[in-house]
Chain A
Amino acid sequence: MQVPAQFAYEKATSVDDAIELLARHGPESLIVAGGHSLIPMMKLRLAEPSTLIDINGLTDLDYIRVEGDQVRLGAMTRHATVLESAVVREHFPILPDAERTIADPLVRNRGTVGGSLCQADPSEDLSAAFSALRADVVIRGAEGQRVVPVREFHHGPYETAVAHGELLIEVRVPIRTRTGSAYQKVERRAGDWAVASAGSVVSLDGDTVAEAGIGLTAVGASHFVAAEAEDALRGRPATDEAFTEAGRIAAEHCAPSADQRGPVDYKRALVAELVARTLQRATARARGEA
């Protein structure tokens, strides 16, 4: 039987209360949102918080709303809510594409957007999708709040820009015109972590790629981004040839590790193919064809 080590438990009643509880209980205290990454880690004693601060009561962080030229997702928005959101589907089809591949429907009923980002697993899907979308995250602490580009949010595996005493409260995704997006994942079985995944965002100016965002997960891409492939695509005609080339560049510059999910060459081959396919689909969506 897997049982977590002992800990004290606190229920936060507001964002400020959660921040105050983090300060009071010190660096060994942790926030729990959906708990579907943290509780398994606690059962394996990979995480042994002295105090667990539960933010499931902060329903005011469970929202998806349009504000100006952004869609804002509260940190406590469950995966299931993102998957079902018409607003999200309209502006960022990459997100339901990705959500459909995250764990299973039961886990998605519990797991949250903020929790997934803060867990910062190097194989996590939303990190790649939000990186492709060039989203920003809002982090609040005792001194106030700051906005951090998601491309600067991850400091390494399981490490983020959220310092102790701070809380990620919101994700802001820019809405762009003539833009499409798509996500694809290769997994060994339904609901597994990715062998490799790619997400693409394409903004068109006529038939030219005005801007591209390419996110990768599980393949060691720095900040989940294929920056060199984006640079190669910007300003070029949106053709299958250009997308294949972008895939090749992304495969060359990522840094996958060989593990039980496959050898390095296989993962690079997947990256090349998934980048090209998601760029094609994103472009078709930008043109209103898909």
Chain B
Amino acid sequence: MEITVRVNGEQVVRDVEPRLLLTHFLRDELRLTGTHWGCDTTNCGACVVRLDGSPVKSCTVLAVMADGASVDTVEGLAHGAELDPVQEGFVTCHGLQCGFCTPGMLMTSRALLDRDPDPSPQAIREAISGQVCRCTGYENIVRAVRWAAEKETAEETAEKEASKEEVTP
């Protein structure tokens, strides 16, 4: 079946079997191997991507179900050479060890901050509660997301201040 999916902003057309899972579509058809294939049983969250903005486990979505939708993967997170603040936070706060869960954690964290720019540590823990870090590095993941939230809030405040100065004669 022919499907058209907007992947990281670019339109992709492919002919796929209906039983192809979205994870394998991304990894094997599009060679976007940043999305990891973990438990295969909707538990671990290594495969999280955003489907029309919502973070979902792509091992439990058929590629054909994404026909006409937009899919965002970890490859689309950075803005050119500049890392997304969430990625920067993971680097700065040591939010990853082996790195296997990281793409999924990043996508969920980005979606959380888009919805709630100032999440409490508890809200972050809830948001990532469907994901497993087998290095058990959860403390640093929570710190990394807080770091990103604070950076974005600071940047926004600075921008507002700057625009105020512009209008003030």
Please give the residue numbers on chain A whose beta carbons come within 8 Å of chain B beta carbons, in ascending order: 1-9, 11, 32, 35-36, 39-40, 42-43, 52, 54, 56, 80, 103-107, 109-110, 190-191
Interface residues of B in 96-149 (CB under 8 A from A): 108, 126-127, 129-131
CB pair A103–B1 under 8 Å, yes or no, is: no
- Can you list 14 pairs linking A and B with CB atoms under 8 Å apart? A1-B40, A3-B19, A4-B19, A8-B18, A35-B60, A35-B62, A36-B60, A39-B21, A39-B62, A42-B19, A43-B41, A106-B48, A107-B42, A107-B60
Interface centre among B45, B61, B65 (most CB of A within 10 A): B65
Residues of B within 8 A of A43 (CB): 40-41
Q: Which of B50-58, B73-81, B85-93, B150-158 contacts A (4 or more CB under 8 A)?
A: B50-58
CB pair B65–A104 under 8 Å, yes or no, is: no
Please give the residue numbers on chain B whose beta carbons come within 8 Å of chain A beta carbons, in ascending order: 1, 17-19, 21, 40-42, 45, 48, 54-57, 60-62, 64-65, 67, 108, 126-127, 129-131
Knowing A52-B18, A106-B48, A109-B54, say if A191 contacts B130 (CB, 8 Å).
yes
CB pair B65–A56 under 8 Å, yes or no, is: yes
A72 to B131, CA, bound (A): 32
A103 to B45, CA, bound (A): 12
A32 to B19, CA, bound (A): 13
User: Across the two chains, which residue of chain A brings its CB closest to B47?
Assistant: A106
Residues of A within 8 A of B55 (CB): 105-106, 109
A103 to B57, CA, bound (A): 12
Residues of B within 8 A of A54 (CB): 64-65
A284 to B42, CA, bound (A): 37
CB pair A105–B129 under 8 Å, yes or no, is: yes
CB pair B42–A36 under 8 Å, yes or no, is: yes
A2 to B19, CA, bound (A): 11
Q: In whole Å, how far is A57's beta carbon from the nearest beta carbon of chain B? A: 8
Residues of A within 8 A of B17 (CB): 6
Residues of A within 8 A of B127 (CB): 105
CB pair A106–B56 under 8 Å, yes or no, is: yes
CB pair A110–B61 under 8 Å, yes or no, is: yes
A9 to B62, CA, bound (A): 10
Q: In whole Å, how far is A171's beta carbon from the nearest beta carbon of chain B? A: 22
CB pair A190–B129 under 8 Å, yes or no, is: yes
A107 to B65, CA, bound (A): 15
Q: In whole Å, how far is A85's beta carbon from the nearest beta carbon of chain B? A: 15
Interface centre among B19, B56, B108 (most CB of A within 10 A): B19
Knowing A1-B40, A11-B67, say if A6 contacts B19 (CB, 8 Å).
yes
Residues of B within 8 A of A35 (CB): 60-62, 65
Knowing A35-B65, A36-B60, say if A105 contacts B42 (CB, 8 Å).
no
CB pair B18–A2 under 8 Å, yes or no, is: no
Interface centre among A5, A32, A109 (most CB of B within 10 A): A109
A36 to B42, CA, bound (A): 8
A42 to B144, CA, bound (A): 37
User: Across the two chains, which residue of chain A brings its CB closest to B19?
Assistant: A4
Residues of A within 8 A of B42 (CB): 36, 40, 103, 107
User: Across the two chains, which residue of chain B brings its CB closest to A108?
Assistant: B130
A5 to B18, CA, bound (A): 10
Q: In whole Å, how far is A76's beta carbon from the nearest beta carbon of chain B? A: 13
User: Across the two chains, which residue of chain A brings its CB closest to B43?
Assistant: A191
A110 to B55, CA, bound (A): 9
